[in-house]
Amino acid sequence: MQRYAVFGSPIGHSQSPRIHAAFAKQCGIAMNYDAIEAGHADFAAKLAASGVRGANVTLPLKEDAFALCMGNASTRAQRAGAANTLIRDGDSWRGDNTDGSGLVRDLTERHGLDLRERRVLLLGAGGAARGVAPALLDAGIHSLYVANRTLARAEALADALGEPGRVHPRSLDDLARLGEFDLLINATSATRGGSLPTLPMALAGRRSAAVDLSYGEAAVPFLAWARAAGCTQALDGLGMLVEQAAESFLLWHGLRPETEAVYAELRARNDGLVTAD
């Protein structure tokens, strides 16, 4: 029986075990997939002791995971400076980042968004933001504004992306002067505590779409703001979660599972707390 797990904190809410159990059943693979609580101080030790063949990594450990596999990381993980997927490679780990491809697939194929030439605001500059930023640029967006409470972290992400003509670091204090965006993405962890940075309504227009990379209760404050601001679509991160999981499953097993039925089941289980459209 192959063993896999997701590491993070908090982790009790994670839908990843349910998703990977459905994928394994669909593909006829015998595997266990657990959720393991871990923080910065004990992540490496718990990963080593777990005996897993592969792992997903969520908040707040994606940059920690990248540090563990820095010499054996995919181009996607290197560009992001963060890893959300680990694959055992002998006595060490190979790292990848499937967040960006999962987000783009969800937005374009499930929700019909055309990302080409779009003006995008990315709130946050941590591991979640780092994971999706390169894929957004590759999808053909016009420009990416990275707004973070600490400007230095936004500048560090912009430097890592290496496209100064398209990527613009900003402080949250600058938001009132940035104008309207076609796509607004919340990649901060602030809403997990029920709070949301002050966001001017002028950031969104009638054709704007908004996405929170979280799902469930954590996504409620930002999506409520998006609807009040008049966004045409207000999406949570459940679809992205399923799509990035499918990409991780492919890396581990060489098979890409079908995602739509799994997404539909999770959407129904979400009890209408956060609607997808």
Q: Which amino acid is at 119?
A: R
241 annotated as belonging to a binding site for a ligand: no
Q: How far apart are CA 129 and CA 151, in angstroms?
A: 14
99 annotated as belonging to a binding site for a ligand: yes
Q: Which of 20, 62, 76, 170 is catalytic?
A: 62
28 annotated as belonging to a binding site for a ligand: no
Which tokens hold the place of 6? Answer: 């997701």
237 annotated as belonging to a binding site for a ligand: yes
170 annotated as belonging to a binding site for a ligand: no
Query: If we measure between CA atoms, which residue out of 74, 102, 104, 75 comes closest to residue 87?
Result: 74
149 annotated as belonging to a binding site for a ligand: yes
126 annotated as belonging to a binding site for a ligand: yes
148 annotated as belonging to a binding site for a ligand: yes
Q: How far apart are CA 155 and CA 194, in angstroms?
A: 26
78 annotated as belonging to a binding site for a ligand: no
46 tagged catalytic: no
Could you write out the DSSP letters of every residue in 200-235?
-GGGEEEEEEEEESS-GGGGHHHHHHHHHTT-SEEE
Q: How far apart are the first and last CA of the chain?
A: 39
213 annotated as belonging to a binding site for a ligand: yes
Q: How far apart are CA 7 and CA 67, in angstroms?
A: 15
Q: Are 32 and 21 in contact (CB under 8 A)?
A: no
Q: How far apart are CA 79 and CA 162, in angstroms?
A: 9
205 annotated as belonging to a binding site for a ligand: no
Binding residues for shikimate: 14-16, 58, 84, 99, 215, 244
Binding residues for NADP(+): 124-128, 148-153, 213, 237
Q: Which residues are catalytic?
A: 62
Binding residues: 14-16, 58, 84, 99, 124-128, 148-153, 213, 215, 237, 244
